[in-house]
Amino acid sequence: MVRIWKPGIIALIVSLFIANFPYTVDAAASVSAKSAILMEQKTGRVLYEKDAHKISRIASITKIMTAILAIESGKMDEYVKVSNKATKAEGSSIYLKAGEKIKLKDLVYGLMLRSGNDAAVAIAEYVGGSVDGFAFLMNLKAREIGMENTHFSNPHGLDDHENHYSTAYDMALLTRYAMMNKEFKKISSTKIHRAPNPSEQWDRVWKNKNRLLTKYKYCTGGKTGYTKRAKRTLVTTAAKGDMKLIAVTLNGPDDWNDHISMYEDGFKEFDMAEVLSKGKIENIKGPYKKGMLFLKNSIVYPATTEEMKLFKVEYKIAKSFNRSNEGSREPEIVGKAIVYFDGKQIKQTPVYYQGGIKGKKEKKEKSLRDYFSQIFLFFMGVKTNG
């Protein structure tokens, strides 16, 4: 359906995060985890969920937030002096020594691959000024991302605070955000990392605890977690063809198999449907030259075969446009295309008009006409400059 807009009322904001609607398909017969979710990364559509909004302790998957804040600080190549407090962090460790200097980048690798709690404290103190200061930054970022049922009290996920929790859904949102960062994506997928060891003659060698990187060929990253109170927690990512998925399980005794099961069913049941293709838009009425309306980006959305009929595209186009730009090289936004899925808006993108642009052949012909016209006027005794 095409709806003609009056000029001056076009509002074109393409949202980074797309609203999720409860059109999930049972992508896994059963999972062992108390809470679980399977989310498509590009659109944020939830493909499967089990108590995904239940507030729970999250253990070391907390470190996804710690890592992305360290990366976004812009200090990854700076050296961090390790405090005595950092070396005394309980639980898993990369065995830092008080007073040693280590690159922030190596701390993040140690954090993500070996789940070093000492690395988490060292990062927090360097980036946030203190553990409490860093927790403040963590909660600011959580609000920014839309993690409405999350609160961070520390950078590692240890059970030293009661007010430290999240949900499977919120952790999927965080992972989706983090995976848009190239450096995080690289670190998360790294199987082995070497870091200098100033007090020894050999390098530190860290192997990723995320067994799914070797156990499941489509896995592209993630973070493990465990405490006595949270039990096993796991976040992983996977990609097959043009589909990228995020899986989260909280309190999952059989989490490796839970994730593989959700991924396999997700890849089997869903395809990335190209609802709109970038390029020219045909058959739209209005004061526009035929073939001059176009989209700069395509729109894709995960759907099952049965759901393909649920898509609908609506164009809202201005009745008029700025004719002073006619012939300009810059395309003008004249409306938007809106995609609906089962009656709910899921995405919109600007519609552009490229009017009056002369092709190379047309420009060349015009130049030749002007040249011969000037010669004719010269011989007729008429000055070409008027």
Residue of 176, 131, 220 whose CA lies nearest to 37: 176
In 3D space, the residue among 170, 188, 190 whose CA is nearest the CA of residue 179 turns out to be 188
Tokens 């082995």 sit at which residue?
Answer: 192
Helices 104-114 and 117-128, axial angle in degrees (round to 10): 140
Q: What is the DSSP letter of 348?
A: E
Known catalytic membership, residue 373: no
- DSSP state letters, 10-58: ------SS----S------S--SSSEEEEEETTT--EEEEESTT--B--
Instruction: Choose the catalytic residue: 35, 50, 56, 63.
Output: 63
73 among known catalytic residues: no
Antiparallel, parallel or unpaired: β 231-240 and 219-227: antiparallel
d(CA 137, CA 22) in angstroms, rounded, equals 31
**Is residue 130 annotated as part of the catalytic site, yes or no?**
no
From 35, 50, 56, 60, the catalytic residue: 60
Q: Which of 92, 115, 166, 261 is catalytic?
A: 115
The DSSP code sequence of 223-283 is EEEEETTTEEEEEEEEEETTEEEEEEEES-TTHHHHHHHHHHHHHHH-EEEEEE-SEE--S
Token pair 């990364």: residue? 41
Contact 111, 120 (CB under 8 A): yes
Which active-site residues does the annotation give?
60, 63, 115
